[in-house]
Structure 1
Amino acid sequence: MFGISTNLIQAFGTFAGITGAVACVLAAAWVYQRGEAQRRDRGAALLALALAALWAGLAAALGATDFSSQLAESARNIAFIYLLFRLFANDGRDASMRMVRSLVITLFVVELFQPSLLVLDQRIAQIPEAQALIFQISAILHLLVTIGSLVLLHNLYAGAAATSRGLLRWSALALASFWLFELNYHTIAYLSGSSPDLLTALQGIAISAFAVCLGMGSHSQTAGLGFSPSRAVTFRSLSLLLITGYLLAMVVIAQSLAAMGGELGRLSQVGFLVLACVVAIIWIPSKKARDWLRVNLTKHLFQHRYDYRAEWLRFTDTVGRNESNDATLHDRAIKAIADITDSRGGVLLIPNEEAELELASQWRWTNVNVPSPAADFGFAGGLEQSGYIIDFDDLRSGAEVPVDPAIFPRWLIDNEDVWA
């Protein structure tokens, strides 16, 4: 079995730390010069990058386990939590969601225990048993902060309107990649009772990836995030369930394999790895399996995205109130549906005397050429009988749809802007 020398790991860790510090400094300069000045998370991003650069530099110079490095790590984590909170503030959800503030304050308090543990660890350096206990407590607190941050991040992205996710994508990816790395790091540290040397050396690479993604996400065409005010953002349990299941699985597997010991333990580890690879190879490429998983998770673990009462009130208000004097009833009907799905525009087709569909109105979609008639009676009848909303991307790709594809008019299929 091949091993990696401690000196090589330390040298790589030093190089990775320097790389991470440089990446954070360059990303901070990019955010300061090129970042959107009106975004509310800009200051928090600069603070997070500055403290991340400080931590990476100290880790490279003194080692990741040094007192100063660990103190800087705690400050870095607090800055990352603050950055996440300011991402919520970009669209005003920090003021409307009490649970966000409560969880952020809780994460701040939990992270503030780390400096106290560091000081206590210095004072009882002569008692190995006490140091081991403090290490376990510190790892547990790190896991609590990491899990809470991932849950918050999940709800930041999942609760944003479709038009806002493009602006959130890189910032969310930066935080998600870093916290997933931290989740693995502290889980292994808790199970093994010591910091994993190889993952410790890789921390600089993880912070470099964070810096690059955050820098890319700071430059946008618009200032701030748009959020649909009628969406009721609810905390979803799926992310927490997945993380908890992951941790429990790692604990059970690690303890079980360790209890076997000897040749049987090594054989079990290899067997588990082979089984995991086989399951991944079979499961991941299967579109049917992925679709089944998505439908069941959405059905059983997610609260629906829409607050139906709020959407219905907004729908009736849009249809009933003519805010623009030139907006017809047909235009308002299209807008009411488009607001629910965050669509830019739409067309309204109504039946004529021969049961064919004809164009009644176009709202903010003037570049589409609608023939006359737009569709025959088979199209309207087929949709009415099925009761389904058809995804045109599935239709174009040849995927199975619950309606006969032959009833769809060619102009709808050929227009890439049509999605439902």
Structure 2
Amino acid sequence: MVSATAVIWIHALVALLFCGVVATYPRTQALSVPRWLMLTAVAASAAWALSTAGISSHDVATRAAGAARDLAWLAVLAVVARAADGGAARARLGVYAATAGCILLAAATAIAAELAPDAHTTALLESTALTLRMLGTVSALVLVQRASIEEGASGRQVVVAALALMWTTDLTIDLLAWIIEARPAVLTVARGAVMVAVAPLIAFAAHRGDEGTIRASRTITLRAIVAVCVGLYVVVSGIVMGYLGPLAGENARTVQTAFVFGSAASTLTLASTPWLRGWAKVVVAKHLFRHRYDYRTEWLRFTDTLGVPGGAAEALEVRVIKAMADMTASPAGVLLTVRDGALAARAAWRCDEAPDRAGSEALVDHLQTSRRIVDLDALRAEDSGDAEAGLIPAWLREWEAAWALIPLIHVDRLVGAIALARPPLARALDWEDFDLLGVAGRQVASYLAEDGAHGALAEAQRFEEFNRRFAFILHDMKNLVSQMALVARNAERHADNPAFRADMIATLQDTAQRMTTLLARLSQRPAGSAGSERGAVSLDELARRLATGRRAQHPVTVTATGDGATWALADRAALETVLGHLIQNAVEASPADVAVTLTVAQRGGEGIIAVTDRGAGMAPAFVRDGLFRPFVSSKPTGFGLGAFEARQLVQAMQGRLEVESREGVGTTFRVVLPRAEEMEEAA
């Protein structure tokens, strides 16, 4: 009862859908098929479905309606084929006539079976009608295949696809009915379910017309084939279970369960094998598409693999192998790069790495000159004295899975090569493989060349940073040498003065400490990262200590204009370096008997320490354009790095360096830093 209800509902739905196609069919003719002919075929399909739902699929009227439906669609197919090949379908007129004859004879025989006088004659006529119907369906499918001449389908090709689906289903159901010598309701329901899909295709084709093209992607095609196979599996399983029930007797439930479980497990195991998936893709590409590869999909996947690492530790070298291997479904690969004129292993994916020296200079020259992808299977098969075969290294010949060696050419230079393993479904390389892998190889070569350029640039930047720090340290060493020279000259005049000797010892200790600090800076952070160790620094205490350390070199005085101690947020070591540059420049610019002044002050939320000299001063143009430029100095023996480094260090501490200078009067440098007011309040 449930099956009969399903037959009624599914075929009523089919009739409703085809009536909807009639109602919404465009008034203007978009297809190359006459509008009246399409409407006739659609109406015949609706009448057949309505008859099946309202009467029975075995009734004479239903069989006559089915024959009318098939004849109408056969006429549509004839018009479509003639439009597709420019009229050559006339030569196949006899085939169309024979197909129509089989359909008519099948219907007539079925009607005669209903009128037969005895059961034996009825069975004979039913069998003959079924055979004629299958013969007509096979012939119609052959004509459908001949009409499918385009890969990119227009609206009429969608009609052809819909007819192929309809008649393939009819043939399958009739064949199953002939095998089991019965037509259970489940087969009638299956036919109705397929017709539910056919109706929207016809409607879509009618509205699409012949203007645009419709292309089914490989993914959709494969999924459709999988869906059809699943449907066939379900149908066949149902039929087999129907036979197993009576045969198994009391153990029917157990036997049927074991059959379902075993067949499902076997099918899933078979479907999960890489070989079967590869075989299915090859068959679909070979028989349903003009090209083996879906170039758009392959290129999108290729660029995604190159640009997006699959894991945190997946380096570019591994990604380029994987990107190339995915195109051909290769399970493994090795990347070789040019090193010292020969090929050397750089990375491997899913295989053991190649030896360090993986290819000779002669192989590099050959690949760079020929740019030819080496078919390793072909070289093994030939087993000849070919010059190219002699260049292939022993490890690659002995790697039985090795399939292709792809040169990576950047501009006119060989960057490296990728050796790919043979796909699960072994096949020979052809022109499509050579073209696609050649283009992809050039793209990979550009990625590797760019990566190498980035690496060289990073190394050059590291050397540049080292040289920069060394230049600053050399400048500081010059200041220390100048300081020691002044101490030595003053020692000649004041060596007998105990106070001077005490200042000289303090100066020497300070100089030794500063030299140790300078040497340590060679292996520390770059200049300009001083702000990372900021803390509260007492500007008053720092000014007094620096003044004390300079007394043996030159008079230095300290003054404070604020109320109480002034604390600033700064990196103490960096601030001492800055003030050391400024004090040394002030000492060198000042007369021997004129003191350099260190002034500590407060201004709003800022702490200031200023270094003032009474030297010759600087011109405004030099202050504006040359003072803070590296390697530009107003002194004959200067490096031009002191003011430049000082400003960088102050800016890294979120401060600023101000300068005032007047020719003939002197110069004042002010280091302005944020105040540490909480330390001042605690003091």
1:317-367 deviation line (CA, Å, top 9, x unaligned)? xxxxxxxxxxxxxxxxxxxxxxxxxxxxxxxxxxxxxx9x9xxxxxxxxxx
Partners of 1:90 and 1:224 within 8 A in 2: no
From 386, 389, 403, the equivalent of 2:432 is: 389
Q: Does 1:200 align with 2:194?
A: no
Query: Structure 1 residues 273, 42: closer, same or farther in 2, change over 3 A?
Result: farther
Change (3 A) 1:222 1:178: closer
Q: 1:283 to 1:75 in 2, by over 3 A?
A: same
Q: Which residue of 1 aligns with 2:25?
A: 31
Asked if 2 retains the 8 angstrom alpha-carbon contact of 1:110 and 1:141, the reply is: yes
Distance 2:446 2:102 in 1: 57
Size of the aligned set, in residue pairs, is 308
Aligned counterparts of 2:411 and 2:36: Cα–Cα separation in 1: 57
Q: Is the 8 A contact 1:91 1:224 kept in 2?
A: no
Equivalent residue in structure 2 for 1:376, among 404, 407, 411: 411
Q: CA RMSD in A?
A: 4.9
Paired residue for 1:121?
Answer: 113
- Higher RCO (C-alpha 8 Å, min separation 6): 1
1:263-342 aligned at under 5 Å gives the runs 273-274=260-261, 276-286=263-273, 288-293=275-280, 295=282
Aligned counterpart, 1:16: 10
Corresponding letter in the other structure for 2:168: L
What SS does the aligned partner of 1:261 have?
helix
- In the TM superposition, residue 409 of structure 1 has moved relative to its aligned partner by 8.4
Post-superposition CA distance 1:152-199 (Å, at most 9, x none):
323332x22x34x25355323322332232123212221232322222
Q: Residue 43 and residue 298 in structure 1: after superposition, are their counterparts in 2 closer, same or farther (change >3 A)?
A: same
Consecutive unaligned residues in structure 1, runs of 5 or more: 1-5, 227-245, 307-354, 358-373, 411-420
When normalised by structure 1's length, the TM-score is 0.58
Tell me the distance in 2 between the aligned counterparts of 1:220 and 1:58.
30
Aligned counterpart, 2:164: 176
Instruction: Specify which of 105, 127, 134 is matched with residue 143 of structure 1.
Output: 134
Q: CA deviation at 1:54?
A: 1.3
DSSP-derived class of the 2:95 partner: helix
> Cα distance, 1:215 vs. partner?
0.7
Quote how far apart the aligned CAs of 1:137 are: 1.7
Aligned counterparts of 2:212 and 2:442: Cα–Cα separation in 1:
43
Identity rate of aligned residues, in percent? Answer: 18
Work out which of the residue numbers 395, 406, 411 in structure 1 matches 2:444.
Answer: 406
Match of 1:213 in 2: 201
With 261-270 and 107-116 compared, the bigger mean Cα shift is at: 261-270
Taking structure 2 as the reference length, the TM-score comes to 0.38
Counterpart of 1:190 (choices 162, 175, 178) is 178
- Give the corresponding residue for 1:332: none
Does residue 261 (structure 1) correspond to residue 261 (structure 2)? The answer is no
1:241 aligned residue: none
Instruction: Look up the match of 2:51.
Output: 58
Task: Indicate conservation of the 8 Å contact 2:113/2:123, yes or no.
Answer: no
SS at match of 1:389: helix
Report the CA distance between 1:378 and its aligned residue: 5.3
| Structure 2 residue identity aligned to 1:25 | C
Q: Which runs of 5+ in 2 are unaligned?
A: 215-231, 292-368, 372-408, 418-428, 449-683
Which structure has the highest strand share of the two?
2
8 A contact 2:37–2:76 mirrored in 1: yes
| Partner secondary structure for residue 84 of structure 2 | coil
Higher helix proportion (structure 1 or 2)? 1
Q: Check the 8 A contact 1:21/1:54 in 2, yes or no.
A: yes
Q: Which amino acid aligns with 1:62?
A: I
